[in-house]
Amino acid sequence: MQVSVESTSALERRMTVGVPVERIENEVNKRLQQTASRAKIPGFRPGKVPMSVIRQRYEAAARQEALGDLIQATFYEAVVAEKLNPAGAPSVEPKVFEKGKDLEYVATFEVFPEFKVGGFESIEVERQQAEVGEADVDNMLDILRKQNTRYENVEREAQDGDQLTIDFVGKIDGEVFAGGSAKGTQLVLGSGRMIPGFEEALVGAKVGEERVITPTFPEDYQNLDLAGKTAEFTVTVNAVAAPQLPELNDEFFAQFGVQEGGLEGFRAEVKKNMERELRQAIKTKVKNQVMEGLVSTNPIEAPKALIDNEVNRLRVQAVQQFGGNIKPEQLPAEMFQEQAKRRVILGLIVAEVVKQFELKPDDARVRELIEEMASAYQEPEQVVAWYYKNDEQLNEVRSVVLEEQVVDTVLQQAKVTDKSVSYEEAVKPAEAPQAA
């Protein structure tokens, strides 16, 4: 077998492979002999059909099959011999594909980039430090009460924060427009659900009252046909309900799985959950900075085949998340191109850190992480056992731990600055990293 390789770009390779005719004929003959042993042809006993008849009937198909299998087999033999690492399936173009001649084809494909990671010492990381104080717990209790607000009908004018049950019909230039009407809609005044001016115009309304209001759609409204236009809504108020915050009592605590300990026990449980959230938030922000630093200090080119695969994965995820009747391939690839490119580059860099530093998931850390996740459940022992009985979920945890070990490896050399912040600031979501 003859092989020659040409580099057509940083990652693309053009490999020409020649396969001797003898090897081709051996493969064809092997297939014909297999066919002869089982062929059923009228006038001949099974296994006694002359090879000349077998060739006449089956050689074309046997040759086509042999050539396809040989291209696949010799491609992988060639990349192993040439020490190439393909990053996707090749594009194969036959050059000589004739009976009685050597097979020659050209395979074009991309390879994984070869590089060593480094530059850890130039990566800057700000690590936030925070604690959960009693005031933070008080604030969280207020949030939990508001999230469980109940509304009771009242016979008074509507106030900000009240929940109204309304019917409305919207018109523009005297014509009803699509999506501008509804019946029995529940709307909390001040929630910002409706366009600016809509909710404000209903403050002071009473049950049974009909109001005509004229809010204006924002210039950047998602429906361009309505953007910047003033509408006329006829709104009928069917009910006004005032918010009622639940009491901090055993009934309320039971909704969150706290059956004992009263207010003190509930506060302790809330604080424990807040501390877990705090640790995770700080860890996530540190990880994001480390990953961003790895990308910026290790510029590499990503194989297009891997980016295309990642784009397709993101398309499927988007359809699963938002639903609808759309098919993944109908979503424009450009929507996901930059995100896919960054994920591929980061994946390649992280994999190289693992390889370069010979990292393996630490079993103790895997156990610790599983136990921490399980602590959020009422029967944590069963959750821990479940993870260790399910290889797929256990491997996911191992991957998370391995990624944490990559972060720790970088932090040993990075410039890390600790900064004391409030609980609220620490748990704010980390900003999304910029595309590579």
What are the structural domains, with CATH classification, of the chain? 2-110 (3.30.70.1050), 150-244 (3.10.50.40), 254-427 (1.10.3120.10)
Residue 410: burial class (beta carbons within 10 Å; 0-12, 13-18, 19+)? buried
For residue 103, pLDDT over 70 is answered with yes
What pLDDT sits at residue 432? Answer: 55
pTM greater than 0.75: yes
Q: How far apart are CA 108 and CA 90, in angstroms?
A: 5
Binning pLDDT at 50, 70 and 90, where does residue 59 land? confident
174 contacts: CB under 8 Å, gap ≥ 6: none
Parallel, antiparallel or unpaired: strands 2-7 and 12-19: antiparallel
Please compute the mean of the pLDDT values over residues 411-415 and round it to a whole number. 97
Given a contact cutoff of 8 angstroms between Cβ atoms, the answer to whether 62 and 70 are in contact is no
Q: How far apart are CA 9 and CA 12, in angstroms?
A: 5
Nearest to 353 by CA among 87, 123, 11: 123
Lowest mean pLDDT among 77-81, 162-166, 389-393, 430-434: 430-434
104 — phi, psi (to 5°)? -135, 130
- State what percent of residues in the chain have pLDDT above 90: 81
- For the ranges 42-51, 89-98, 427-436, the maximum mean pLDDT occurs at 89-98
What pLDDT sits at residue 39? Answer: 75
Lowest mean pLDDT among 57-61, 142-146, 162-166: 57-61
Q: How many CB atoms lie within 10 A of CB 414?
A: 23
Nearest to 275 by CA among 420, 135, 131: 131
Eight-state DSSP code of residue 86: B
Paired with 210 in beta bridges are 236
Binning pLDDT at 50, 70 and 90, where does residue 431 land? low
Binning pLDDT at 50, 70 and 90, where does residue 435 land? very low
Please report how many Cα atoms fall inside a 13 Å half-sphere around the Cα of residue 261, on the Cβ side. 13
Residues in the chain: 436
DSSP for 190-243 reads: TS--SPTTTTGGGTT--TT-EEEE--B--TT-SSTTTTT-B-EEEEEEEEEEEE
Of 43 and 124, more confident: 124
For residue 430, pLDDT over 80 is answered with no
Paired with 128 in beta bridges are 419
For residue 433, pLDDT over 90 is answered with no
Please compute the mean of the pLDDT values over residues 115-123 and round it to a whole number. 95
Binning pLDDT at 50, 70 and 90, where does residue 43 land? confident
What pLDDT sits at residue 330? Answer: 87
Please compute the mean of the pLDDT values over residues 263-287 and round it to a whole number. 95
Q: How far apart are CA 420 and CA 430, in angstroms?
A: 16
Q: What is the pLDDT of residues 211-247, one digit of tens each?
A: 999 999 999 998 989 999 999 999 999 999 999 999 9
* DSSP reduced 3-state for 96: strand
Look at the block and give the residue holding tokens 């009592």.
249
Please compute the mean of the pLDDT values over residues 9-31 and round it to a whole number. 94
Q: What is the mean pLDDT of the chain?
A: 92
Q: What is the pLDDT of residues 83-94, one digit of tens each?
A: 999 998 999 998
Q: How far apart are CA 337 and CA 302, in angstroms?
A: 12
Q: How far apart are CA 433 and CA 291, in angstroms?
A: 9
What pLDDT sits at residue 376? Answer: 79
Nearest to 169 by CA among 157, 185, 155, 149: 185
Paired with 165 in beta bridges are 186, 239
29 contacts: CB under 8 Å, gap ≥ 6: none
What pLDDT sits at residue 419? Answer: 97
For residue 303, pLDDT over 50 is answered with yes
What pLDDT sits at residue 293? Answer: 96
For residue 28, pLDDT over 80 is answered with yes
Q: What is the pLDDT of residues 313-365, one digit of tens each?
A: 999 998 888 777 788 888 999 999 999 999 999 999 999 999 999 999 999 99
Structure tokens at 363: 């079993």
Lowest mean pLDDT among 90-104, 194-208, 278-292: 90-104
Nearest to 423 by CA among 101, 137, 68, 47: 137
For residue 257, pLDDT over 70 is answered with yes
What pLDDT sits at residue 220? Answer: 92
Given a contact cutoff of 8 angstroms between Cβ atoms, the answer to whether 5 and 13 are in contact is yes
